[in-house]
Amino acid sequence: MQEANTSGVTYIGKCNFRGNERIFGIKQKDRRQHMYVIGKTGVGKTALLKNMALQDIRSGRGICIIDPHGEFIEEVLTQIPAERVNDVIYFNPVDSEYPMGFNVLETSDPKYKHLIVSDLMGIFTKIWANVWSARMEYILQNCVNALLDTPGTTLLGIPRILVDKDYREKIVANVKDPVVKSFWVHEYETWRDQFRNEAIVPIQNKVGQFLNTSFIRNIVGQSKSTLNISEIMNDGKILLVNVSKGRIGEDNSALLGAMIITKVQLAAMERVRVPEEDRKDFYLYVDEFQNFATDSFASILSEARKYRLNLILAHQYIGQLVTDVSTKVRDAVFGNVGTMISFRVGATDAEFLEQEFTPEFMQEDLINLPNHHIYLKLMVEGITSRPFSSVTLPPFEYERAHDVKEKVIRVARERYARPRAEVEDKIFRWSGGGSDDGDEGGGKSAMGDGKLQESICWNCGKTATVPFKPDGRRPVYCLSCLKQIEEGKLIPLPDRMPKVGKARFDDSLSTMGIEFSLNRGNAPSQSRSQREGGASAPVREQHSGGGRRDFRPRGDTRMVARHSRGDRRGGEGRVRTEPVVRGGGDGDKRISLSELRARPEEKKSDLRDRAREHRPADTSGLRKALEGLLKQEPQKEVEMSVASPQIESRPVVSQPLVSRPVEQPRAPIQSSATAPEQKKIQPGEAVKL
């Protein structure tokens, strides 16, 4: 193998040529046309990739491995030669105590900003295809464009710019693109709250899912990347990216892996300033690459060669490269790769691959290949060979250094990671939780406490976690309800009205002592005496012997609003008002508004009397009588019965009293001390004063 390393040949397998078994490989310059490996699971794809990667490492070349399972990288880690330990950067998101910084929005050249936006939109479109919409793309695109114009911003700014007005104003002030600025100033700010909430809730939920995990947030939330991809490529270092689905989740794995591929592409394009003969070859290994393949991946295949970025791609079947709306990735792969290797495949793929390997191999041959056996078309001196068969080499077993894995992890932590407490403190201060802005872009603005918040889905009542502090007015949805909203099966709920904590007074009614207090809570409002801690005494009822009722002064009459959770017919809860007649020590007595309303027969009688007399009602006599009672007994409370439906007379607080003509003359008013027992007033009987 050492001879192969110095000659620049990477060995692949062995074949039988005219009775002689020979080991063959591919030259370094031919690998610039990229390599494509396809085959079912368990047929030997990962073993082939590991053999090639270890040869590159021992040859001193720079490589990057993106592994969505973790086993590939774990095998490579144990066989790193001692002289290359310092070149290894082990990116493991699960190492939460020492997170590495990876800011996908960081760029050294502003002219590549549009590529970041385009690649991120492609990633989001692929990962969130089930809920993706044109409106989501429109808003997210303007979010990323706005954040890119402010140095130091991260993906944490996406949910914040949507809900935090102060932060949004600071970001928009730095926007240079007039179209992007016009969106935020003239369009987004004019949206109604309900429409805005409906538009941004899917974005908040999806981006929130990615940022909810603390170790993911601590990686992408650092404003300064500790991973300098350009330096890694130009210095020929080894970047091992362990985005295991089983440890960080499928969506998180796909997002992180795709973002790192995007940064590798941008770093390769920045080599345009370096003369082509001075560009070092850098090898990108992507196992199960369909997880990270977006439409922008096609441009990498077509343009990466000139920047000396050499791809080795592996996956299981062709259908993984095709979406409902695009075959761009599949077409780019079969139109640009120079070396194609096929292990055993299924019937559908065999039918498609037969066009590449005919006439040497037919569909049945591709279906019946044993494990570790391959058919391939090899790039030789810039020309693709005719298809031939081969057997891959067994896994290489190099001398293993003692505790090499622990050394690699320790070196990576010391050079490329930061302590968790330091990272979380900066994110907390950026979110407005501290007195310092930190070095993150956008300045300081309050948005909750900088931590994830638990809320309740407004539709189904399930617990949902969001990266912002719910304000109680804008609706929050769980993932299932959000999907139903996107599919049009569920109508979004409107914003809730702000809560009213203090009583509001109507000027005209307050002069009469009528108070309205709006209570929108679940519990009924309490009377004033209960709020003040006093005990309410029962209202004195009429004596059985027909004794008089005491009257309370009108100025002490209160009307308090009560909250109803729903009427007897099952309607929605509403606010209703109930008048309460209050006195000094006799407590309160509630009456119904319906009892204060004039009866139809009374209205007709009043109209006939007024039409006949053509003059306003004379209430002077009644007023003088009441004033006399108050002067004679100022210490006693005067109470007027307004609640009993049996009394036909009108209450003082709701309707003006109208005198009615009576046949007998008025009797003189007697004081309460000497007045005889009065006769009980019967319904329908005229009141005699």
Please report, for the domain that includes residue 322, its CATH number: 3.40.50.300
In a domain, 290, yes or no: yes
Q: Which helix (H) or strand (E) holds 392?
A: strand 388-392
In a domain, 307, yes or no: yes
In a domain, 288, yes or no: yes
SS3 content of the chain, % helix, strand, coil (to 5): 40, 15, 45
Q: Name the 3-class secondary structure at 9.
A: strand
| pLDDT on residue 471 | 74
Burial class (CB in 10 A: 0-12, 13-18, 19+), 183: buried
| pLDDT on residue 114 | 87
Mark whether 229 and 319 lie in a shared domain: yes
Mark whether 232 and 336 lie in a shared domain: yes
Token pair for residue 256? 């992180």
Query: Which residues lie across from 383 on neighbouring strands?
Result: 380
Integer-rounded Cα Rg, in Å, for the chain is 41
Question: Contact, 45 vs 314, CB < 8 A?
Answer: yes
Question: Contact, 43 vs 392, CB < 8 A?
Answer: no
In a domain, 546, yes or no: no
Mark whether 379 and 285 lie in a shared domain: yes
In a domain, 667, yes or no: no
Residue ranges in the chain whose pLDDT is less than 50: 1-4, 434-439, 443-450, 497-586, 635-665, 667-676, 687-689
Mark whether 208 and 142 lie in a shared domain: yes
Token pair for residue 562? 């009560």
| pLDDT on residue 680 | 53
| pLDDT on residue 322 | 86
- What is the Cα–Cα distance from 578 to 562, expressed in whole angstroms? 6
| pLDDT on residue 611 | 52
Using a cut of 0.85, tell me whether the model's pTM lies above it.
no
In a domain, 568, yes or no: yes
Burial class (CB in 10 A: 0-12, 13-18, 19+), 538: exposed
Mark whether 560 and 450 lie in a shared domain: no
Mark whether 266 and 381 lie in a shared domain: yes
HSE, side-chain direction, 13 A CA sphere, residue 671: 8
Mark whether 378 and 446 lie in a shared domain: no
When divided into structural domains, the chain yields a total of: 3
Task: Give the position of tokens 């409902």.
Answer: 324
Mark whether 381 and 462 lie in a shared domain: no
Q: For 682, which DSSP code?
A: P
In a domain, 111, yes or no: no
Mark whether 207 and 245 lie in a shared domain: no
| pLDDT on residue 102 | 92
Mark whether 254 and 232 lie in a shared domain: yes
Question: Contact, 284 vs 312, CB < 8 A?
Answer: yes
| pLDDT on residue 380 | 92
Q: Is the peptide bond before 634 cis (omega within 30 degrees of 0)?
A: no
| pLDDT on residue 612 | 54
> Domain containing 516: what range?
507-533+552-596
Last residue of a domain, one of 372, 391, 415: 415
Mark whether 284 and 401 lie in a shared domain: yes
The total of other beta-carbon atoms located within 10 Å of residue 71's CB is: 13
Q: For 649, which DSSP code?
A: S
In a domain, 612, yes or no: no
Task: Give the position of tokens 């009456």.
Answer: 591
Question: Contact, 468 vs 453, CB < 8 A?
Answer: yes
Mark whether 160 and 256 lie in a shared domain: no
Exposure string of 476-503, with b = 16+ CB inside 10 Å and e = fewer, is bbbeebbbebbeeebebbebeeeeeeee
The total of other beta-carbon atoms located within 10 Å of residue 569's CB is: 5
